[in-house]
Amino acid sequence: MGTSRMDLTMLEPRLRRAQKLLRPVVIYVVAMAVMALFLAPIAWLFISSITPLTQLLTVPLKWIPERPSFEYYSQIITAAPSARTTAGNFKIAVGNSLLIGGSVTTVCLVLGSLAAYAFARLDMPFGDKLIFLLLFTQMIPGIAIIIPLYMLASKLGMLDRRITLVIIYCSFSMPFVIWMMRGYFQTIPRELEDSAMIDGCSRVGALFRVVLPLSRPGLFATGIFAFLAAWNEFMLALIMTQSLASKTMPVALAEFIGRFRVDYGLMCTVGVIACIPPILIALVFQRHLIEGLTAGAVKA
């Protein structure tokens, strides 16, 4: 008994040292495992898109393609944008989505910034309460307003038009944009604007020449969100669009998946292409994205 306890006390410093050495290794290994967990499904989509079909269907499955081919990619790139082929269909839908996403981002930033400026500087009636009411609209499930929206659009002859989706997505993202931009404007010292106005700038001039350039990070962060929301939205697009005149990428993709047949490679390729804009945004604007995501909750 006595000796074993002695041994233990002698061992303890060594154990401690071993633990100290081992800790970073364990952290590293677990972190890599977590990373793999989130990356693997996306990586598999990409690998499937460059693996020849015959190899993709072998059992047991080989994970790395022996002769990777980018045939499906060239098939989509060279396809004429027409309704007849899957690739052509998808191409038009991607075009629609880019156009809608771009318009939503622009309109949201312009109109949202104007409103945000009013809330930050111009002594709005019910200021904070109105902002909370706006944010509350974000909690309303889309499904709760989709029926009247559909009826309204149909009555106005606005079904199956890209402009309809632009207006809808703008209104959905606007409260967030207003709230975020208000926060940014409030961090800009009033004196800067005042001195610009003394130098002969109008208030609007001061907004565009002084305040907006200084809030560029905020514009990036909010713009990214407006674009991503428009690019990814599915349920409303599914109901509001009927033909390629307005069909967006998620709708075209869902239709394609609905016909899930053996052209798995092509389907995965289409999936990868749908991932490109959001992933590019996530990698290039990582900092802005995280800032926008966490702005509210962390400050509150």
Count residues near other proteins (CB under 8 A).
93
- The angle at the Cα of 50, spanning 48 to 51, to the nearest 5 degrees, equals 65
Least spacing, CB of residue 113 vs other proteins, in Å: 9
Stretch that binds other proteins, among 67-75, 82-90, 144-152, 213-221 (CB under 8 A): 144-152
- Min dist. Cβ of residue 3 to other proteins (A): 29
292 binds other proteins (CB under 8 A): no
183 is a contact residue toward other proteins (CB under 8 A): no
Q: What is the DSSP letter of 90?
A: H
How far is C-alpha 179 from the chain's CA centre? 18
CB under 8 A: which stretch of 79-87, 182-190, 210-218, 253-261 binds other proteins? 253-261
Instruction: Determine which residue in the list 57, 83, 163, 245 makes contact with other proteins, applying CB under 8 A.
Output: 57
Contacts with other proteins in 268-287 (CB under 8 A)?
268, 271, 274-275, 278-279, 281-283, 286
Pick the binder of other proteins from 8, 11, 27, 163 (CB under 8 A): 27
Q: Is 250 in the site for other proteins (CB under 8 A)?
A: yes
State which of positions 184-243 bind other proteins (CB under 8 A): 203, 228, 231-235, 238-239
Selection from 247, 99, 235, 227 nearest residue 159 by Cα = 247
Burial of 120 by CB count in 10 Å (0-12 exposed, 13-18 middle, 19+ buried)? buried
Residues 6+ apart with CB under 8 A from 173: 104, 108, 112, 225, 226, 229, 230
Segment near other proteins (CB under 8 A); pick from 20-28, 68-76, 79-87, 88-96: 20-28
Task: Burial-class residue 13 by CB neighbours within 10 Å (0-12, 13-18, 19+).
Answer: exposed
* Residue in 2, 148, 189, 213 binding other proteins, rule: CB under 8 A: 148
Q: CB count, 10 Å around CB of 254?
A: 12
**Percentages helix, strand, coil for the chain, rounded to the nearest 5?**
80, 0, 20
Residues 84-113 that bind other proteins (CB under 8 A): 111-112
Q: Which of the stretches 3-11, 14-22, 76-84, 122-130 binds other proteins when contact is defined by CB under 8 A?
A: 122-130
